[in-house]
Amino acid sequence: PNYTSSTTGPTYAPSQLVFVAIVSLVLYGTFVLVQTVRHRDYFLPSAEDLETHAHAAPPSQRATGIAFGMLLAALVSVVLLAKTLSPTIEAAVLGAGLPLAVVGVVIAALVLAPESLAAYKAARRNRLQTSLNLALGSALATIGLTIPSVAIVSLVLDLPLALGIDAKGMTLLALSLFVATLSLGTGRTTVLQGVLHLVIFAAYLFTTVVP
């Protein structure tokens, strides 16, 4: 939205917002289909897939439906929790003299905390495939489901929605994607790539508090 000309500022026109919401849902749905049905074995730990190169059996329709329902229920619960806590967190942040952007960081940390802790515990147990699955699923769900949700709310309630980011955010995002490509593209990583990601994250947190 920083470079579109239909509206002024880092926002989308209604038609553009609908398009972005649909594309986000398509991408997330494709990832879920690949991870759970078409290429499920790609996301299983290697020890479970040593004996055969055939695709793992897909889950039943009943199991898929239950999982989808629980996903929606959990998403709604987390969003409502974040909305409930937002005024309290905002008051605490302003009382501490911190920028208002810190509120978004705290809310995001609360939303991503369960998956982050689960991924960390899996990595500690040397279950790196499980850890990576949790990280990828969490990131894609956050993007692929949140954007359509807020887009619908914005269109229905006629609220402004700024999805563009500033130059600092664009720089850190591009750097993060570049490092992630280097980390995942070769299939082999070291502690150096992990430290690079942590340094980028630390730079984001620091520049959020001290713009």
CA distances from 135 to 43, 65, 73, 111 (A): 12, 22, 20, 13
Q: What is the pLDDT of residues 66-109, one digit of tens each?
A: 888 887 787 777 777 777 777 888 888 888 888 888 888 887 88
Q: Where are the domains of the chain?
A: 14-162, 165-211
Report residue 160 as tokens. Answer: 């402004």
Q: pLDDT tens-digit profile of 122-157?
A: 888 877 778 888 888 878 887 888 888 888 888 888
Contact status, residue 24 vs residue 150, Cβ threshold 8 Å:
no
- What 8-state DSSP symbol labels residue 187? S
pLDDT of 23 above 70 = yes
Phi, psi torsion values for 127, nearest 5 degrees: -105, 70
Q: What percent of the chain has pLDDT over 70?
A: 92
Residues linked to residue 11 through DSSP beta bridges, in sequence order = 162
Q: Kindly indicate the confidence band of residue 206, based on its pLDDT and cuts at 50, 70 and 90.
A: very high
pTM of the model: 0.70
172 versus 136: which is more confidently predicted?
A: 172
Q: Which of 51-65, 68-82, 163-177 has the highest mean pLDDT?
A: 163-177
pLDDT, residue 46, reads 65
Q: What percent of the chain has pLDDT over 90?
A: 9
DSSP letter string, 4-68: -SSSSSSB--HHHHHHHHHHHHHHHHHHHHIIIIITGGGGS-GGGGSS--SPPPPPPHHHHHHHH
How confident is the model at residue 50, as a pLDDT? 47
pLDDT digits (tens, 9 = 90+) for 175-199: 998 988 888 777 777 888 889 989 9
